[in-house]
């Protein structure tokens, strides 16, 4: 059972409508029991950021500290994410930060397919509300949402158009904390974000790109930076 039926919700237009829709969504996530994680969590973690953010970062799921605080990326990985954002002149309040699943799997185990499926509607709704110009996936579960079957080792750092929206796969910041050799690739990939965003803005102005509303992707095209 989907936690949220996207087909039943109107797409908000004005900023006020988008903010109101996000508040409604946050309340819905907080009350959601569509999978067993809703019973074991301390707090649901819907995500946070401006309702009109140009970039949405999508991680995997809440860990211990996120579960305690109800906010995404507040542990060591979150600190590294903030450093990475600063390295390209952004603050975390400039971007929207979400996860594929909104409640912590016990012991930080990997989320189960049925949990990801149950939670999928919430992320679809966030994408429909925020309509980011650029989606940055962090980690393999987030990548699989948009580019199923794509190995992160090959795809990271390359922007692709998925269902009309630009998606940039990246390693999860936590991966660099466990495996030091990934730190440099993550930093290099982040440095590409401003150029990708510029390209995505141009595409949006010309009507060539549109916000992502759905999950699974058919054929994707790769962004060619000038
Ligand atoms: S993980 Fe998602 S579907 Fe499961 S209870 Fe939490 S919000 Fe609902």
pLDDT tens across 1-17, in order?
Answer: 445 555 557 788 899 99
Ligand 1 centroid to residue 144 C-alpha, Å: 18
In a domain, 2, yes or no: no
Rg over alpha carbons for the chain, rounded to the nearest Å, is: 16
Q: Is residue 117 part of a domain?
A: yes
Residue 222 has pLDDT above 60, yes or no: no
Q: Is 101 in the pocket of ligand 1 (CB under 6 A)?
A: yes
Q: Residue 90 maps to which CATH number?
A: 3.40.470.10
Is 8 among the domain residues?
no
Cβ(3) to ligand 1 under 6 A?
yes
Instruction: Count Cβ atoms below 10 Å from residue 3 Cβ, excluding itself.
Output: 22
Average pLDDT of the residues of the chain: 90
3-state SS of 22-83 is HHHHHHHHHHCCCCCHHHHCCCCCCCECCCCCCEEEEECCCCHHHHHHCCCCCCHHHHHHHH
Q: Does ligand 1 lie within 6 Å of residue 35's CB atom?
A: yes
What average pLDDT does this structure show over 216-223?
A: 43
In a domain, 41, yes or no: yes
5 falls within a domain: no
What pTM did the predictor assign? 0.91
Whether the CB-CB separation of 96 and 49 falls below 8 Å is answered with yes
pLDDT, tens digit (0-9, with 9 covering 90-100), for 86-122: 999 999 999 999 999 999 999 989 999 999 999 999 9
Average pLDDT of the segment spanning 31-50: 97
If one counts the domains in the chain, the total is: 1
Determine if ligand 1 sits within 6 Å of the CB of residue 102. Answer: yes
Segments forming the whole domain that contains residue 39: 13-222
pLDDT at position 207, please? 76
> Does 7 reside within a domain?
no
Q: 100 CB less than 6 Å from ligand 1?
A: no
Q: Counting atoms of ligand 1 from 1, which one is nearest the CA of 111?
A: 1
Q: What percent of the chain is helix, strand and coil (3-state, nearest 5)? A: 50, 10, 40
Closest of 191, 200, 149, 201 to residue 170, by C-alpha: 191
Closest CA relative to residue 211, chosen from 85, 126, 122, 144: 126
Q: Is 3 a member of any domain?
A: no
Q: Mutation test of ligand 1: which of 4, 5, 28, 29 has the most ligand atoms closer than 8 Å to its C-beta?
A: 29
For ligand 1, is residue 193 a contact (CB within 6 Å)?
Answer: no
Asked whether residue 58 is assigned to any structural domain, the reply reads: yes
- Look up residue 164 and give its DSSP letter: T
What is the number of alpha carbons within 13 Å of residue 29 lying toward its C-beta?
31
Tell me the C-alpha distance between 164 and 180, whole Å: 34
């Amino acid at each position: 059972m989907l936690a949220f039926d996207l087909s039943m919700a109107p797409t908000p237009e004005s900023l006020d409508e988008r903010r109101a829709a996000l508040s409604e969504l946050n309340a819905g996530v907080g009350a959601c029991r569509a999978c067993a994680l809703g019973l074991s969590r301390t707090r649901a973690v819907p995500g946070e950021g401006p309702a009109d953010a140009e970039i949405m970062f999508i991680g995997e799921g809440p860990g211990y500290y996120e579960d305690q605080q109800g906010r995404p990326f507040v542990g060591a990985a979150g600190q590294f994410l903030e450093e990475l954002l600063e390295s390209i002149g952004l603050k975390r309040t400039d971007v929207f930060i979400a996860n594929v699943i909104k409640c912590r799997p016990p012991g930080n185990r990997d989320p189960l397919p049925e949990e990801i499926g149950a939670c999928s509607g919430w992320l679809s709704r966030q994408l429909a509300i925020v309509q980011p110009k650029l989606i940055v996936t962090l980690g393999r579960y987030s990548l699989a949402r948009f580019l199923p079957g794509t190995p992160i080792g090959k795809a990271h750092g390359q922007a692709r158009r998925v269902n009309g929206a630009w998606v940039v796969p990246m390693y999860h910041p936590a991966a660099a904390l466990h495996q030091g050799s990934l730190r440099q690739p993550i930093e290099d990939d982040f440095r590409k974000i401003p150029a990708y965003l510029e390209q995505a803005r141009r595409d949006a102005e010309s009507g060539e790109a549109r916000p992502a509303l759905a999950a699974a992707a058919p054929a994707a095209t790769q962004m060619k930076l000038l």
